[in-house]
Amino acid sequence: MTRRVVITGLGIISPVGKTPEEFFGSLMAGHSGIKRLQTDFIEHLSVRIGAPVDNFNPGEYFTKMQLIGIERFSQFALVAAAQAVLDAGLELSDAEQLRAGVYMGSCMGGAGTMEEGYVELFQRDNPRIKPLSVLLSMNNAAASHLSIKYHLQGPNVTYATACSSSAIAVGEAYRQIRHGYADVMLAGGSEAMLTYGAMKAWEALHTLAYEDQHDASASCKPFAKNRSGLVLGEGAAVLVLEDAERAAQRGARIYAELAGYDCSSDSSHITKPDSAGQARTMLNALRNAQLRPQDIHYINAHGTATLAGDIEETKAIKQVFGTHAASVPVSSTKSMHGHLMGATGAAEFMAAVLALHHNAIPPTINLHEPDPECDLDYVPNQGRSGVKLDAVMSNSFAFGGSNAVLIAKRFS
């Protein structure tokens, strides 16, 4: 049994917008959410830039009592999901709740709570930490809060596969509906890891971008000759996925059909990307969607702006798309919203879905001198409107070699 799966609701909290409209509008305008961080630990960092969610006041969404048990990453997820559910006009009966679930991705869950606990124990020698520390920090807290809020009694799963976490969450939710195990799924990811400890750990890997000497917001430069690494960000993205027949029957507005998905492993190296593994995942997703490479009209690249990663992804696209590779637009929106880690796959897939919906392609900003080895159409600096898009692809390639590719197409 296979069924068609459609996207009927979108919600996002990101460094460049707190609604899908703001998010995509900022991307099209080339607006960057990357900046020098204003934190009390900034002087202890070598890399002092990030992509935070500014002006997020949890008190606007939650009571003081609720906030005792809801960590920042779960707050992001709940707000994004509320947008998506409202956007979809989703109302579920008691019986329908039994066949609705939640799949979310997160790399570090409640990183802030964990760090606060370590400081109390080891720095301040305080044996008493927050009683709810486990419940606040567990990776599945966000998904569990969503399941409880909306009384979703189907599958409730959290994926932690580094940068591909939320792409896999969306893809596996798609499979749940496609193969008849669920009718409706909330799927996405959430991350809030702009903490002292997390940033120092990433510094130690030497993968973070240097701050641009002239403009901190221009520090992430995917596919550019002078790129220096990724920029950490935070946020959440949640999509409502539905069985297409159910969505049509209730008259839902449909953004797109989630037509193809694959996840696979490089099985080669814990940090080094592998173009062969990435290409295999793209090809499998195309087969799953029953599409040819030339049917794809836009690719939202993983595009982290690391030296090796951008070259390997370029190679992978060439392997899959052949002569069509030079003519398909590819962009990295990480140049603007940063790397949202466990939330980035869902956010970037949302960007691709909105590109399809609006027939507009967001740019890769800060791309003034391309790396000669990155020689595709990376939509440099300026978005493109009024283009005809019928199918789009979103790539997510993670540490550990865990790759995921999602494909959306116009629903008809």
| pLDDT cut 90: percent of the chain above it | 97
pLDDT at 22 over 80: yes
User: What is the model's pLDDT at position 75?
Assistant: 98
Strands 391-397 and 298-300, sheet pairing? parallel
Catalytic residue among 145, 297, 337, 339: 339
The most distant pair of C-alpha atoms in the chain lies apart, rounded to whole Å, by: 63
Query: Tell me, what's the pLDDT at 103?
Result: 99
The CA–CA distances, whole Å, from 220 to 65, 231, 282, 302, 408 equal 39, 6, 25, 13, 27
Helix axes 141-150, 72-88, angle to 10 degrees: 40
What average pLDDT does the segment 168-180 reach? 98
The per-residue pLDDT for range 57-110, each reduced to its tens digit, is: 999 999 999 999 999 999 999 999 999 999 999 999 999 999 999 999 999 999
| Residue 158: predicted pLDDT | 98
Give the model's confidence band at 179: pLDDT under 50 very low, under 70 low, under 90 confident, else very high: very high
pLDDT for 352 beyond 80: yes
Phi, psi of 40 (to 5 degrees): -75, -10
Give the CB-side neighbour count of residue 93, counting CA atoms within 13 A: 2
Per residue, the 3-state secondary structure of 23-63, as one string, reads HHHHHHHCCCCCEECCCCCHHHCCCCEEECCCCCCHHHCCC
Q: Is the pLDDT at 156 greater than 80, yes or no?
A: yes
CATH code reported for the domain at 260-409: 3.40.47.10
**pLDDT above 90 (res 300):** yes
Please tell me the predicted confidence (pLDDT) of residue 129.
86
The CATH number of 5-249, from 3.90.180.10, 1.10.490.10, 3.40.47.10, 3.40.640.10, is 3.40.47.10
Nearest to 297 by CA among 250, 248, 361: 361
pLDDT-based confidence at 128, cuts 50/70/90? Answer: confident
Compute the distance between CA of residue 106 and CA of residue 104 in angstroms, rounded to an integer.
7
Rounded distance between C-alpha atoms, residue 402 and residue 69, angstroms: 32
* Helix, strand or coil, per DSSP, at residue 182: coil
Which runs of E-coded beta strand occur in 200-310?
A: 235-243, 256-265, 298-300
Q: Residue 374 catalytic?
A: no
Task: Give the mean model confidence (pLDDT) for residues 372-381.
Answer: 98
Inter-axis angle of helices 307-321 and 275-289, nearest 10 = 40
Q: How many CA atoms lie within 13 A of 74 on its CB side?
A: 28
Percentages of the chain per state (helix, strand, coil), in multiples of 5? 40, 20, 40
Q: Are 378 and 359 in contact (CB under 8 A)?
A: no
Name the helix (H) or strand (E) containing 308.
helix 307-321
DSSP 223: T
Q: Where are the domains of the chain?
A: 5-249, 260-409
Which residue of the set 145, 220, 297, 302 is catalytic? 302
Average pLDDT over residues 394-409: 98
- Written as six digits, the tokens of 80 are 């994004």
Q: Give the pLDDT confidence score for residue 96 in this predicted structure.
A: 98
Separation between Cα atoms, residue 298 and residue 353, nearest integer Å: 10
Q: Per-residue pLDDT averaged across 21-31, rounded?
A: 98
Question: pLDDT at residue 210 above 90?
Answer: yes
Strands (E) in 78-139, as ranges, are: 100-105
Distance CA 319, CA 340 (A): 27
Q: Which burial class, exposed, middle or buried, applies to 311 when counting CB atoms under 10 A from its CB (0-12, 13-18, 19+)?
A: middle
Q: In whole angstroms, give the CA distance from residue 116 to residue 195.
A: 10
Does this chain's domain 5-249 share its CATH topology with 260-409? Answer: yes
Residue-level pLDDT at 282: 98
Q: How far is CA 206 from the centre of its chain?
A: 22
pLDDT tens digits along 239-282? 999 999 999 999 999 999 999 999 999 999 999 999 999 999 99
Q: Which of 107, 145, 163, 337 is catalytic?
A: 163
